[in-house]
Amino acid sequence: MQQAISCQNLTKHFGEKKAVQGLDLEIGQGEVFGFLGPNGAGKTTTVRLLNGLLAPTSGSATVLGMNILEDASAIRASSGVLTETPGLYESLTLEENLRFYGELYRVPANDLDKRITDLLEEFDLVDRAHDHVGTLSKGLHQRMAILRALIHDPQILFLDEPTAGLDPAATRQVIELISDMSQKRGRTVFLCTHNLDVAQKLCDRIGVIDHGILQAVGTPKELASELWRQCQVELVLGNVNDSRLDALREAPFMLNLAVHGDQVSVTLSDDEKIPELTRWLVQNELDVYSVTPQQHTLEDIYFKIQGNDESEAGE
Amino acid sequence: MMKFEWRTIKAIARKDLRLALQNKNILVPTILVPAIILVIIPAIMVSVPRWASLDEMSYDDIEPFIRMITAAGLNIDMSDYVEAWIIGSASYMFAPMFLIIPLMTSSILASDSFVGERERHTMEGLLYTPVSTRDLFIGKVLSAFVPALIIEAVSFVAYAVVVNAAGYYAMQRIFFPPTFWWVLLLWLGPGVSLSGIGITVMISSKTQTFVEAQQWSGILVLPIVLVMVGQLAGVFVLGTGIVFLIGAIFWAVGIAATLYGAKTFHRSELISQV
């Protein structure tokens, strides 16, 4: 599969400030990639580098196979960007905004009317086509901003905090829209966000950047298994007694065992040991109501990575 | 050399103009100032002899006008103070003031186009489009230059009608415009417009708001005041030759300032100001 984004040692310094340092990253086409990090971590600078707005201090990158230095205009023609400030003209109507950006993105004049109508219908904004953008609610405004980023049917979307300031209903709508972009249209999405819940729902893989350095990259599961070598499993068992618990504690796969009422919490060396645990429970004639491996949320993963970073910095 | 994307350039110019037309801070001065400078004040000036008796005035009272007209070599009966007053005020005194129109409109529109984009937080969105900064710059310059020329032309027609109508009671003929006004309209006015745009673009890279840019653009009126004072002091009198020369200076300044502005209008520079 061709990579949608490929960065090799991508670096950007602003004087003394090292905004992005030696970024190596590969993102496949159709992937939703979450780029997480605190304010000033280097997320926006990376998006600007990848769209050829800034020249790297060193290193290189390609977007859709095009070099960010030599083919910047072609990259921008194929990418749709939603910036944190959406760049809509409040005193122009929705239709005027879309027409303007359609012309800038060189949508053929013959197709532009249809494209605008189709998008407004699809985003349920057709009734507001002739209203000024300034009259839209925050949620509709953001929906319009995403729509604007899609006016030229881009292959790749860069979304910077697409749910910032939205209420839960509007956030859900935006999540659905982004999900559709990836699943129905096969578009690659590069999502910069602080919102870990949104990232958890949308992203195939995530990267965590801080102080311009990519701290970790992978699927949430991969990152969790890297961060937590051991596996915590919650058991709900019937007919438990002390001798059976003692036998379980002595089982070869067992690292730790704790009892909380009718729940038993066990620690295994890794999740590959879960089938072995289940077999042992059945063979020892324990009534098994549930075996639940503890899932680490993206929030756990993110803060664990950030925590690691802090401990390293302190060393 | 990269091809010009005229569809894009027109879209940018059209959008900026549309935004300007919806902005009261732009509309009010671009309508009110020409109306006051070129309609109300000239109508009063030309009509003064109807209410005040110029026959009782001495030569010294209207000496600056007489000097202007004699220096311009016009064949006018100098004993007719009324005619000297009307021609002196309509054709000569108001000529520098007329230049305030292209200067003011171009600098207001350029401020809105260049600084306004930053103030509205819409510049970043433009920089992410495939439009070259050259085409973006040209679109923005045209969004100020073309309307400034149109407003100048409309103001000229309005002024010609007003002074001819107001002065007809004494002149009994259409006396305006004299030849040098055509050079002023077609050569000096556009040069003044371009200077206004060029200097505003230079200023705009250092300012954050439309109002701030406008305050700095106020210095642009100084060369026009110099022309006004120079003429009244008898240093020179406006005629075809001198208007052409002043026009050449404004064009040179306008082209130099605009090219300098274009050089600094770079994506990486602009994104750092967002």
**Cross-chain CB nearest to B128 (options A51, A55, A88):** A51
Closest residue on chain A to B131 (Cα): A104
Distance between CA atoms of A87 and A84, rounded to whole angstroms?
Answer: 9
Q: Give the H or E element holding residue A50.
A: helix A43-50
Residue B197 has pLDDT above 80, yes or no: yes
pLDDT at A31 (0 to 100): 93
pLDDT in tens, A76-114: 999 999 998 888 999 999 999 999 999 999 999 999 999
State the DSSP code for B151.
H
Q: Across chain A, what does the average pLDDT equal? A: 89
CB contact under 8 A, A74 and B7: no
Reply yes or no on whether the pLDDT at A313 is more than 70. Answer: no
Tell me what the mean pLDDT of segment A175-186 comes to: 88
Size of interface A-B (CB pairs under 8 A): 72
Which one of B22, B127, B268 has the shortest CB-CB distance to A91?
B22
pLDDT classification of A315: cutoffs 50, 70, 90: very low
* Mean pLDDT estimate for chain B: 86
What is the structure's pLDDT at A33? Answer: 96
Q: Which residues contact A159 (CB under 8 A, 6 or more apart)?
A: A81, A82, A146, A149, A178, A189, A190, A191, A192, A193
Instruction: Using CB atoms, pick whichever of B11, B123, B268 lies closest to residue A104.
Output: B11
* Chain A: closest CA distance from residue B10 (Å): 9
Write the pLDDT tens digit of every residue in A41-83.
Answer: 999 999 999 999 999 999 999 999 999 999 999 999 999 999 9
Buried b (16+ CB within 10 A) or exposed e, B12-36: bbbbbbbbbeebeebeeebeebbee
Nearest to B132 among A73, A105, A109 (CB): A73
B210 φ, ψ (degrees, to nearest 5): -60, -45
**B114 Cβ contact list (under 8 Å, min separation 6):** B140, B200, B201, B204, B213
Strands A66-67 and A58-63: antiparallel
Of B22, B123, B130, the CB nearest to A73: B130
The minimum CA-CA distance between A274 and chain B, rounded to whole Å, is: 50
Numbered residues of chain B with Cβ closer than 8 Å to any chain A Cβ? 5, 7-8, 11-12, 15, 18-19, 22-23, 120-132, 267-268, 271
A89: nearest CB among B8, B11, B122? B122
pTM (two decimals): 0.84
What tens digit of pLDDT does each residue of B8-46 get? 999 999 999 999 988 888 888 888 888 888 888 888 888
Name the minimum distance, in Å, from the CA of B205 to any CA of chain A. Answer: 18
Q: What is the pLDDT of residue A39?
A: 87
- Cβ neighbour number for residue B37 with a 10 Å cutoff: 18
Q: Percentage of chain A with pLDDT > 90?
A: 57
Q: Confidence class of residue A311 from pLDDT cuts 50, 70 and 90?
A: very low
Q: Which residues of B touch A86 (CB under 8 A)?
A: 125
Q: Do B18 and A55 touch (CB under 8 A)?
A: no
B125 and A86 within 8 Å at the Cβ level: the answer is yes
Average pLDDT over residues B102-121: 91
Residues of B within 8 A of A54 (CB-CB) are: 268, 271
Q: Per the CB < 8 Å rule, is A54 touching B271?
A: yes
Side chain identity, residue A283: Q
pLDDT higher than threshold 60 for residue A308: no
CA B107 to chain centre: 9
Residue A145 CA to residue A47 CA, distance in Å, equals 17
Q: Confidence band (pLDDT; 50, 70, 90) for B107? A: very high
Contact A92 B128 (CB under 8 A): no
Asked whether the beta carbons of residue B15 and residue A100 sit closer than 8 angstroms, the reply is: yes
Contacts of A96 in chain B (CB under 8 A): 15, 18
**φ, ψ dihedrals at A264, nearest 5°:** -120, 130
% of chain B with per-residue pLDDT over 90: 43
Task: Give A89 to chain B, closest Cα distance, Å.
Answer: 7
ipTM score of complex? 0.84
| pLDDT classification of A166: cutoffs 50, 70, 90 | confident
Contact B128 A76 (CB under 8 A): yes
What tens digit of pLDDT does each residue of A195-252 get?
Answer: 888 888 899 999 999 999 999 999 888 888 788 878 889 999 888 888 888 898 988 8
- Asked if the model's pLDDT at residue B208 lies above 80, the reply is no
B23 and A109 within 8 Å at the Cβ level: the answer is no
pLDDT band at A314 (very low <50, low <70, confident <90, very high): very low
Kindly state the average pLDDT of the residues B75-89.
Answer: 72
Query: Which residues of chain A neighbour B267 with C-beta distances below 8 Å?
Result: 52-53
